[in-house]
Amino acid sequence: MTALEKLAEEKGPQETGGLLVGYFSGDDKDVVITGITGPGPKAQHGRHSFCPDYASDRVEMERIFEKSDGLAWYLGDWHTHPTGHAYLSFLDRKALKSIAKFEGNFVPRPIMLILGRGGGGTSSWVPRAWRIYRLPRTIFGWIWRFDEQEITIFDAT
C-alpha cells in the first residue's frame, strides 16, 4: 500500500497504474499480492484514463518471475482514480474482461485493484479490489460477474 500510494501521489491528478504480482492460495480463493510494479516509461496518463506500456510490463513481469524462482506471477492490474471512487468504470470492466478472455491465460480470474480518491485532492487513497468471474455460457453468451474482494493488509517483513 505504501508503494502504491507513493506512485499514485507522484502522478497527482493523473491516473497511473501497473501490475499486481504474487500467487493464488486456498484453491485459488485467496489472492496473495506480494509485489507491484509502476507504470512503464511509455504508459499514457490522463485525468480519466491510463494506458499501460505493455512491452515494458512484459519485460518487468519476466524479471520478477525469474527473481522469485517462479513463485510470483501476474495476478492482474492496479490503477488510480484520482478524482473518483474506487469502483470499476465501464472501461475497467471491459479491460478486465479482455484480460480474462485472453487465450491461454494463466490467470483465468484476474484482479483489478483501484485506488480511489472520491473525497478530492487531499483525501486519502481508498483501495478496492475486484475479481472477475465468468458464469456458465448461456444462449445470451458469456455472463460476467465482478465481485468486490475483501482486502487484508499485512505488514511487510
For Zn ion, the binding residues (CB under 5 A) are 89, 92
Least Å distance, CB 105 to Zn ion, is: 21
> What does the alpha-carbon distance between residue 143 and residue 82 come to, in Å, rounded to a whole number?
30
Least Å distance, CB 36 to Zn ion, is: 16
Would you give the distance in Å from CA 128 to the centre of its chain? Answer: 10
Residue with cell string 492482474? 76
Residue 89 or 123: the one with the smaller Cβ distance to Zn ion is 89
Residue nearest to Zn ion (CB): 92
Would you give the distance in Å from CA 70 to the centre of its chain? Answer: 20
Residue 73 or 87: the one with the smaller Cβ distance to Zn ion is 87
* 126-138 and 141-149 strand pairing: antiparallel
**Closest of 79, 63, 68, 69 to residue 112, by C-alpha:** 79
Least Å distance, CB 49 to Zn ion, is: 8
Residue 18 or 64: the one with the smaller Cβ distance to Zn ion is 18
Residue 37 or 80: the one with the smaller Cβ distance to Zn ion is 80
Least Å distance, CB 99 to Zn ion, is: 13
Residue 67 or 119: the one with the smaller Cβ distance to Zn ion is 119
Least Å distance, CB 34 to Zn ion, is: 23
> What does the alpha-carbon distance between residue 16 and residue 82 come to, in Å, rounded to a whole number?
9
> What does the alpha-carbon distance between residue 39 and residue 19 come to, in Å, rounded to a whole number?
8
